[in-house]
Amino acid sequence: MANQSKSLLDKQIVSQAIIDSFKKLNPMVMMKNPVMFIVEIGTFITLILSFLPDAFGPSTVSRGYNIAVFLILLFTVLFANFAEALAEGRGRAQADSLRQTKSDTIARLVQKDGSIREVSSTQLRKGDIVRVDTYDMIPSDGEIIEGLASIDESAITGESAPVIKEAGGDFSSVTGGTRVVSDSIVMRVTSDPGESFLDKMISLVEGASRQKTPNEIALTTLLTVLTLIFLVVIVTLVPLANYLTVQLDVATLIALLVCLIPTTIGGLLSAIGIAGMNRVTQFNVLAMSGKAVEAAGDIDTMILDKTGTITFGNRMAAEFIPVSDVSHSDMTLAALQSSVKDETPEGRSIVELAHQIGAVWNEHEYAEADIMEFTAETRMSGLNLPGGTTIRKGAVDAIKKWIAAQNGTIPSDLDEKAGHIARAGGTPLAVTVNNRILGLIYLKDTVKPGLKERFAELRAMGIKTVMCTGDNPLTAATIAKEAGVDEFIAEAKPEDKIAAIKKEQAQGKLVAMTGDGTNDAPALAQADVGLAMNSGTMAAKEAANMIDLDSDPTKLLSVIAIGKQLLITRGSLTTFSIANDIAKYFAIIPALFILALPQLQSLNIMHLASPQSAILSALIFNAVIIPLLIPIAMRGTKYQAMNANRLLTRNLLLYGVGGVLVPFVGIKVIDLILATLL
């Protein structure tokens, strides 16, 4: 999004995050994170010991040691709070940027008598009719019911190029806060104040509606259980130490507990979730919940509606096919002339294709031509030129009747070529000039560019793609092959789409569905991840749990990547955090008991300077590693399309083995520095 992706080290965000880190020390806030709440309790106890060393019994360590443990624990908690506050700060920065877009604009409300009354955009209600002229801000979400205009959506989508929106087409939906840059439109308001997409995005990125996902709740439960287990372990160390005549001070026990519980992932868990949600909004996708984002990371099957999702939805010119004895250039020029005054999507596509081929004509020479509009009765359209030349295009049977009435000749290969187009799933339009049929225009529902490559990427991730369409099997097979989907369902009714989703879900698979029509709404509601196109109907958008503001069906690939990235990031840092404990175990346990049990010398592989130095080194490393991992938590680990086994192996080697080796190096370096200072 434009101006919304704030830098991770933005001074304003960082300074506010530092302030919020202290505010989050409130125990009522910290209780939401059990791991860090335990660390905060330990921080409070060591604070007491810093002033009253014998408050919990005789102490054998200095006041300075207690103060050092207190300060390190305090910074551990603050670093964890800072990570969460930084993620929230980036969300607030995005929300502020969106609020600048959402301003109280003046709307031209159309009255029942057709007159215009200027009102504040906050007074608009669903169903109101509004006129928006050139350079005006669109006052609310709506649907164009009259006109065509070029609209600058950069404030919402970040794309600088304006987009064409028109009444009656797939691209009739407009978003409040965007601006009309040419022509004018009449729109129907589709949302009440506070219910627009922009309002929902602001709420989303601020985190006001963010709830923990099932995966996150399960991981929090695991971390809590591990914390309780280590708490029991630390408590049992006291009688064991007494038996061995080893004095374990309260500050040392707290330090040991903090080092062994998974504080790293405990401190970063919330930041990972918030950052994942923020990344989705940066791809111009409105996610209704964090659960939907996470579910996208585990998708097995993706079901797509054809019309408006895989294809543009409008029939577009694909080829000009001349009949016998007619040159391709003559046919191309005739097709251009028959459509140059045709403002329908089909007509514009014919003109565009003719221009691409190189056909040109002087429009001024035909300024006085009579335009023959398409009607359901004639099923033709075209021009009558001043010199008597007649140009028509239309359905093949309609043109044949027209020629027969004029005593013209029907080309012998016309029906054969028209049948070939029909069998390929296209629509043939015949073109005639002065009662002579020159050829056929091949209209087809064109597949959106880039889809085949994106579907190949989904296949590499192990995700199956299924296209649903109401077309006959022959047409469906043609489109499916061109788009590159794995399977297709032809002549599909809304209940067939739901049945397909339920069939996949019954096999234990998670299913994503993309669509844009009212008939897609039930399937979007049934799917685990329902992504509706912003250009689609309100029914589809209300049924889905995600809305793509760019109306790009391949956007789900990006959402899936973000979902996988979120899950992988969480798993990677959890692995790293638990692996850290192995190194900290080798650092602290031998140092504590080596005097009473010389046999532990074989475990003292780091040869740290002293028991106190070992504990402080491990504690400092435990605190410092949290801010060092914040960039990974915020940006996510790098995701590459590969199978689950390779992905697991890579992450175990990188974050598992790395999580064991890095602390050995880090703790040893810190110990050498402490030994020098002390």
Query: Is position 352 annotated in a ligand binding site?
Result: no
Query: Is position 104 annotated in a ligand binding site?
Result: no
Per the CB < 8 A criterion, the answer to whether 252 and 61 are in contact is yes
Beta strands in 419-474 (DSSP E): 427-433, 436-447, 464-468
Cα–Cα distance, 218 to 276 (Å, whole number):
17
Q: If DSSP codes are grouped into helix, strand and coil, which group holds residue 409? A: coil
Per DSSP bridges, beta strands 511-515 and 301-305 are: parallel
Q: If DSSP codes are grouped into helix, strand and coil, which group holds residue 638? A: coil
Query: Is position 44 annotated in a ligand binding site?
Result: no
Q: If DSSP codes are grouped into helix, strand and coil, which group holds residue 26? A: coil
Tell how far CA 51 is from the center of its chain: 51
Stated as kind and residue range, the H or E segment containing 661 is: helix 658-677
Cα–Cα distance, 546 to 536 (Å, whole number):
13
Query: Is position 516 annotated in a ligand binding site?
Result: yes
Query: Is position 375 annotated in a ligand binding site?
Result: yes
Distance linking the first and last C-alpha atoms of the chain: 52
Query: Is position 56 annotated in a ligand binding site?
Result: no
Query: Is position 374 annotated in a ligand binding site?
Result: yes
Q: If DSSP codes are grouped into helix, strand and coil, which group holds residue 194? A: coil
Q: If DSSP codes are grouped into helix, strand and coil, which group holds residue 429? A: strand
Rg (CA), the chain: 34
User: Residues with catalytic annotation?
Assistant: 305
* Residues 562, 564, 567, 569, Cα dihedral to 10°: -70
Query: Which residues are CB-neighbours of 32 under 8 A, at least 6 positions away?
Result: none
Query: Is position 379 annotated in a ligand binding site?
Result: yes
Cα–Cα distance, 169 to 148 (Å, whole number):
10
Query: Is position 283 annotated in a ligand binding site?
Result: no
Query: Which residues are CB-neighbours of 429 under 8 A, at least 6 positions away?
Result: 393, 394, 395, 396, 440, 441, 443
- Annotated binding residues, written as ranges, equal 342, 346, 374-381, 393, 516, 520
Binding residues for ATP: 342, 346, 374-381, 393
Binding site for Mg(2+): which residues? 516, 520
